[in-house]
Amino acid sequence: MNPISADQLLAAQSWRYATKQFDESKIIPSELWSALEESLILSPSSYGLQPWQFFVITNPDLRAKLRPHSWNQSQVTDASHLVVFAIPEEVDVAYMEKYLARIAEVRGVTLDSLSFYRDMMMADVIAGPRQAWVREWAARQVYIALGNFMTSAALVGVDTCPLEGIDPREYDTILGLPDKGYNSIVACAAGYRSAEDKYSSFAKVRFEKSDLVRHL
């Protein structure tokens, strides 16, 4: 892999902003969108458990139904793509076993060789203190994937806007997520900014590095 330069990284981060108005006529090319989906899959998570599901909403009727439950934000219907980030209703033993089986498959090892890792995860997530707030923990993992997705999009010149202003219960109902075993947490619109979006020209406001970064 040839890493990008520090200047390229900072240029992409400076270019990125929470896009308020998308150009409806511009669609993310399928090959590029496929790469962004892969970036979601490659997102890091605690233990590598990936307690999430990414619902890509392309049906315009569904997106029109979601918009009133998103503070009527136009990004929901106007962006090229809309991703709803959800967590499983249960992060249980069955989920752990599925993950362990996947490790064994991908790495060509036996399940027995993973017994120590299994016991460690079970003692923490299933039987430990984390079990009492496992859904909140899963929601925090989702935000790791959201950040990774937005950064990946910026690096390939795709605009995004994270959408916390949604009603998760209404999203769940409209998308039928409980029947699928999931609950929505946050959404993200992706596409290309409109030339009429005045926010694209606003200076990015951040505190000074000295206010935010401490070296101990």
pLDDT of residue 88: 97
Residue 6 lies in a domain: no
Burial of 175 (0-12, 13-18, 19+ CB in 10 A): buried
pLDDT of residue 128: 93
pLDDT of residue 74: 98
Residue 98 lies in a domain: no
Residue 56 lies in a domain: yes
Residue 121 lies in a domain: no
Torsion of CA 70, 75, 77, 81, to 10 degrees: -110
User: Which residues have CB under 8 Å from 54's CB, separation 6+?
Assistant: 37, 40, 83, 84, 85, 86, 145
Going by pLDDT thresholds of 50, 70 and 90, the confidence category of residue 205 is: very high
Residue 156 lies in a domain: yes
Residue 199 lies in a domain: no
Give residue-wise pLDDT tens across range 158-194: 999 999 999 999 999 999 999 999 999 999 999 999 9
Number of structural domains, the chain? Answer: 1
Residue 76 lies in a domain: yes
Tokens describing residue 46:
């605690």
User: Got the DSSP string for 78-116?
Assistant: HSSEEEEEEEES---HHHHHHHHHHHHHHHT--SGGGHH
Query: CATH number of the domain that 182 lies in?
Result: 3.40.109.10
What share of the chain in percent tops pLDDT 70? Answer: 100
Cα–Cα distance between 44 and 54 in angstroms, integer? 14
Give residue-wise pLDDT tens across range 142-163: 999 999 999 999 999 999 999 9
Residue-range definition of the domain harbouring residue 156: 17-88+134-194
Residue 180 lies in a domain: yes
